[in-house]
Copies of this chain bind each other. A is one copy, B any other.
């Protein structure tokens, strides 16, 4: 669509494929590193619990020695507690997550912002507490070369996991802060249904302006952004000033399972038009990793290498 939206060659695109660890939960961290290296996949998205168990420094070495890049760490967040003790604990935990991300050498810490506190019905208040927390955590993260990536989660998670349900809301939050401190995650599973997603991906690209997009005013607390300095840029980031910190893929399949957490589909099995998303993220100037993150017990029950081979094939068929 734009000059920068050239068609990506298949090989170029495959070089950007990253495997999120949770997709092949049956693999240990060494198995993951080995399996990705064998499959020619160059990036991995890691989760805190298995990294902590293995040791962050050892995990960083393991992955580096396999020739892999850590494209993101999942996850910080849960920043909506109202009580001071709960709030302090959440901030402490997020500082620890930022440090782990820095040790792993990734510039992206994915945040699941948090749901409504027990008994609360105040979505707006919860979103404002997230903004307050971002203000505290953003400089701490940027000083360590890490960007906080707000992930809008599907509205079916608004009560118990994440009151940030659309890319619009995520950008409204992110744009209050410098672009090297706070970005957003574009995840097809969460956004596929939303007919405003395309325009918001363009807004997130921010290739023509500062951190506040041209079509939406920044919030009242807007801070002059990092703009052209692109602190969170490099291979994993988008263009200067871009808010797109990560691009994640999973398909939407029904019926949803009880609890709706583990029903994500293999690429191509469901309703998501991946090429549509990839073209828009391309046009927004994003050149970073494309991470496949599927939570599905049927994939976990299979041989990890077979699952990864299938992902590589599906990625070429549906994304490229």
Contact = CB atoms under 8 A, between A and B. Distances in A.
Contacts of A127: 195
Contacts of A270: 159
A156 B270 CA distance: 13
A270 to B, nearest CB: 7
Nearest to A272: B121
A165 B166 CA distance: 12
Interface stretch (A78-86, A129-137, A249-257, A305-313): A249-257
A38 interface: no
Given A121-B271, A272-B121, A159 B254 contact: yes
Interface string A225-260: 000000000000000000000000000111111111
A273 B158 CA distance: 14
Interface residues of A, number: 33
Contacts of A258: 255-258
Majority secondary structure of chain A interface residues (helix, strand, loop or mixed): loop
A183 B272 CA distance: 29
A169 B155 contact: no
Copies per complex? Answer: 2
Interface string A29-44: 0000000000000000
A253 B165 CA distance: 17
Given A121-B272, A121-B273, A272-B121, A256 B156 contact: yes
Given A165-B193, A256-B258, A260-B260, A156 B159 contact: no
A160 interface: yes
Given A116-B271, A158-B192, A165-B194, 6 more contacts: A122-B273, A159-B193, A159-B252, A159-B254, A166-B194, A256-B258
A252 B121 CA distance: 10
A74 B51 CA distance: 51
A197 to B, nearest CB: 10
Interface centre among A122, A159, A169 (most CB of B within 10 A): A159
Given A256-B260, A271-B116, A195 B124 contact: yes
Contact of A154 (B121, B124, B156, B272): B156
A123 interface: yes
Interface string A164-190: 011001000000000000000000000
B271 A159 contact: yes
Contact of A260 (B156, B163, B271): B156
A273 B121 CA distance: 6
Contacts of A154: 155-156
A152 to B, nearest CB: 11
A271 B127 CA distance: 15
